[in-house]
Amino acid sequence: MVRQFMSNPFREDLVSRSRPEACTVVIFGATGDLTHRKLIPALYNLAIDGELPPGVKIIGFARRGKSDEVFREGLKDLNREVSRNGHDEEIWNDFENTVEYHQSEFQDSDGYRRLADRLEAIDLERGGKGNRLFYIASAPEYFDDILEHLKAAGLNESKDGCWSRVIVEKPFGTDLPSAQHLNEVVNQTFEEKDTYRIDHYLGKETAQNIMVLRFANAIFEPLWNSKYIKQVQITCSEHLGMEGGRGGYYDKAGALRDMVQNHLLQLLSLVAMEPPTDLSADGVRDEKVKVIRSLRQWDTPELVAENVVRAQYSAGHVHGKSVVGYREEDRVDPESMTETYVALRCMVDTWRWSGVPFYIRMGKRLPKKATEISVHFRSAPNVLFNAIPGDKDEGNVLVIRIQPDEGISLRMVSKLPGTTLRLEPVKMDFHYSTSFGKASPEAYERLLLDAMAGDATLFARRDEVEEAWKFIDHIHRAWHQSDAEKEPDMAEFVAGSWGPEEADSLLEKDGNTWRRL
């Protein structure tokens, strides 16, 4: 990649990562929770770690009338609460001087012209370097307006060797047509190389470690195929329901579109991808998109009914407390047909994965919060120890825990101490928190730095997003088609349990069971 800036010899060997460049970060939706709880603390933590390039300016763009001082005060209050590195007054004072507030409606052309003037003044102050990073953290209905106005104001253009990039938050569309439309709008405004679709799961330490585990260790890759792997399970379980008014958004989205289309298919692609030719953004993303493209399409209601289970939770108990059913939740339609639980059987039709089912399940109001990937290896031949009557076949399972309690474990079979030959599964366990006392950076820290450095490896590319929507849309269409009689059933399960029986049956057909978390 040709660098547009002068080389800085002092950066060499200092950190093994692309170099972030000074820029102005403009956050649309600056009065929202994401800005206050995630983005500003992430930028502040980069500053306190000495990683934020000097000259970075932050402009909060939002509709409410506020002065710079009031805006900063609000950010400071929350930073004190949530910052990973604590709150250092001296560093904050310098940091907050880089933060300004820009009041404008998202549809107001004049607001963008004023923004352009403001950015130019900042560029002059910085010495003429006009890199811009636009972060669209507003509600999705404003995405089009913001992008079109940025273009009209000429803010999308890269001038004089500088760059102009955009980060777009999820949801990136609600189906394939809307994602394609959004991609069109984005790409009419910004080139694909300057577009960063954020999926914070990819910024998580454990998600990044999947590739390291697979490709930096010699022992796994030879076994990483259908000859040795029987099945893969990806589970994202949440104990929360619709607290804090989340029902309004969730009832429109549902588990499939809220989590599976993005986060969980991204995890699946990291597990199933071929080794990339290099670690460049496109090298990695080329391989990931091949996986999504290779997913067998469940494109008829019958196939969806056979391979996908949707469900809602009914009243039950979670963590010892009584909770209401989904349809009784605040801001949820009492006749809602939105799934809070989904289990899928995916088939990756490649040479490597032929015949290996990838099961994905995601649910609200399950017994505990956990996201993990488990790779289940085939059993050893039924001779010698495995031929002993009464001993259960316990294959090896490699578990990658994404959150919480990040780590990796490997289940294997061992002899029970004693004079008789009894076998039991044992677990080798690696916990990040035990081995590395230092807290990992927040996903947003890594991702913001990468965007400033022009490294899109951990961001979703247009074709990845669209291929994922294509797969998801077939399922969604089957669920909500006009002929209600053909619609696959909506199952039900008691809140606090591990999901509906139908989800268990989905695996039993293949002779498998869900891993107990």
Partner 1 sequence: MVSDNAMSLGIKVPVEKIERELRQLWEVDDARTNASLINLAVYSEAKGALATNSDMIREITREHSCRALLIGLDKNIEETSVRAWITAHCHLAHGQKSVCCEQIAFHLTGHSTGRFRNTIFAHLQSDLPLIFWWQGNLSDMFSESLYRRIDRLVIDSSGWDDVIVQFTRINEAIRQVNLVVQDLAWTRTYHFRLAIASLYDDLIAAESLKNVSKVKIITNPKHFASGLQLLAWFAEMSGWKRTQDLISDQEDSGSYRFCTREGNIVDAELTLEENSAPIGKIEVISGGVTVCVSREAGGKHLHHQLICDEHVIDIHGPADGDSSAELLADQLSRGGKNSLFKKILPTFFGMLEL
CB of 83 vs partner 1, minimal distance in Å? 14
Min dist. Cβ of residue 168 to partner 1 (A): 26
Contact indicator for 260, 360 with CB cutoff of 8 Å: yes
Q: Closest by alpha carbon to 158, among 194, 183, 186, 123?
A: 194
Between residues 53 and 140, which has the closer beta carbon with respect to partner 1?
53
Question: What tokens were used for 180?
Answer: 């394609």
CB of 308 to partner 1, least distance (A): 36
By CB atoms closer than 10 A (0-12, 13-18, 19+), residue 372 is buried
Q: Which is nearer to partner 1, 123 or 251 (CB)?
A: 123
Q: For residue 171, say if its preceding peptide bond is cis, omega within 30 degrees of 0.
A: yes
Phi first, then psi: give them for residue 102, nearest 5 degrees. Answer: -125, 115
Q: Which residue has the tokens 């293949």?
A: 510
The distance of closest approach from Cβ of residue 190 to partner 1 in the complex, given in angstroms and rounded to an integer, is 23
Closest residue by Cα to residue 488 from 499, 498, 497, 476: 476
| Residue 21 or 329 with smaller CB distance to partner 1 | 21
> Distance between CA atoms of 95 and 25, rounded to whole angstroms?
13
The one-character DSSP state at 378 is P
Cβ at position 91, least distance to partner 1 in Å: 6
Residue 355 zone, left/alpha/beta (φ > 0; ψ -120 to 50; rest): left
Residue 464 CB, nearest approach to partner 1 (Å): 31
Q: 129 or 252, CB closer to partner 1? A: 129
Nearer to partner 1, 89 or 278 (CB): 89
Strands annotated E in 157-307: 164-168, 195-198, 229-237
Binding site for partner 1 (CB under 8 A): 5-14, 16, 19, 21-22, 47-50, 53-55, 88, 90-91, 93-94, 125-129, 431, 433-439
Give the residue with the Cβ less far from partner 1, 288 or 446: 446
When the beta carbons of 422 and 431 are compared against partner 1, the nearer one is 431
Whichever of 162 and 490 has its CB closer to partner 1, that residue is: 162
* Contacts of residue 11, Cβ cutoff 8 Å, sequence gap at least 6: 19
| Residues ≥6 apart with Cβ < 8 Å to 453 | 17, 18, 19, 20, 21
The token pair that represents 131 in the structure block: 């890199």
Rounded-to-10 torsion of CA 504, 505, 509, 510: -10
Q: Which residues, listed in sequence order, are joined to residue 318 by a DSSP beta bridge?
A: 321
CB 505 within 8 A of CB 511: no
| Gyration radius of the chain over CA positions | 25
Cβ-based neighbours of 302, under 8 Å, separated by 6 or more: none
Q: What's the closest the beta carbon of residue 433 comes to partner 1, in angstroms?
A: 5
Determine the Cα–Cα distance for residues 201 and 186; give it in Å rounded to an integer. Answer: 22
- Strand order across the beta sheet in which 24-28 lies: 99-103, 57-62, 24-28, 132-136, 164-168, 195-198, 459-460
State the nearest-atom distance from the C-beta of 404 to partner 1, in Å: 9
The residues that are catalytic are 263
Q: How far is the CB of 94 from partner 1 (least distance, A)?
A: 4
Helical axes 265-272 vs 281-293, angle rounded to 10°: 100
Bridge partners (DSSP) of residue 394 are: none
Scored b (16 or more CB within 10 A) or e, 36-63 reads bebbbbbbbbbbbeebbbebbbbbbbbb
